[in-house]
């Protein structure tokens, strides 16, 4: 079983904000594979298969800073023993330019509070991350920036990157994280 978690904040107020790019990837993945979400107390969840591998896709409803609570519940239920390969987390990254994507096997949260929450609740940094760059605006407070929508120009870039993130998830599942890192972490992509 592979658990795929997109980070974001629930509700219409946040649905198109930069901080919800993880939810956007999960939604596109679910659409592509005809996965139907069920709402639970702390998350929306859908189950299916990709490349003959059982998957569970999740959007935590605990708000970004408590994402680890929902992930911990699911990890406990699924008894995922094969970290990092059984947990993939998709999230926004302020330190990457808009539209740049980076796949990592493990490491620190890089200041991302949703990722830090997962690390804290699981007690490990050992899981796969797909980071999607949202850039920074030096004239705006970080919290205001991440909770604002993409500009018109950025929307086209992000739409393409969301599709690429979905493809990278399929590559991770079918060919492994190292292959996905080699394909998708290149500068020209």
pLDDT tens digits, one per residue of 90-143: 999 999 999 899 999 989 999 999 999 999 999 999 999 999 999 999 899 999
Say if residues 121 and 42 touch (Cβ distance below 8 Å). Answer: no
Domains in the chain, please, with CATH? 2-184 (3.40.50.1470)
Predicted structure pTM score: 0.95
Burial of 138 (0-12, 13-18, 19+ CB in 10 A): exposed
Residue 144 and residue 36: Cα distance in Å, rounded? 32
- pLDDT at residue 85, as a whole number: 75
Query: Above 80 in pLDDT, residue 82?
Result: no
Task: Please report the pLDDT score of residue 80 as a whole number.
Answer: 67
Query: Residues near 18 by Cβ (< 8 Å), separated by ≥ 6?
Result: 92, 134, 145, 146, 147, 148, 149, 150
Radius of gyration of the chain (CA): 15
Distance CA 113, CA 66 (A): 8
Active site residues: 19
């Amino acid at each position: 079983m592979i658990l795929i978690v997109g980070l974001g904040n629930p509700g219409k107020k946040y649905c198109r904000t930069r901080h919800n790019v993880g939810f956007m990837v999960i939604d596109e993945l679910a659409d592509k594979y005809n996965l139907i979400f069920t709402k639970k107390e702390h998350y929306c969840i859908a189950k299916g298969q990709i490349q003959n591998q059982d998957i569970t896709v999740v959007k935590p409803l605990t708000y970004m800073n408590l994402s680890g609570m929902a992930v911990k519940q699911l990890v406990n239920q699924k008894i995922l023993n094969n970290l990092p390969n059984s947990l993939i987390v998709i999230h926004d990254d302020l330190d990457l330019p808009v539209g740049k994507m980076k796949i990592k096997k493990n490491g620190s949260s890089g200041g991302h509070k949703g990722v830090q929450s997962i690390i804290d609740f699981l007690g490990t940094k050992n899981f796969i991350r797909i980071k999607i760059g949202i850039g920074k605006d030096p004239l705006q407070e970080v919290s205001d920036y991440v909770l604002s929508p993409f500009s018109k120009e950025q929307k086209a870039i992000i739409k393409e990157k969301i599709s690429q993130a979905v493809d990278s998830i399929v590559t991770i599942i079918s060919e492994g994280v190292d292959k996905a890192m080699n394909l998708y972490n290149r500068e020209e992509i």
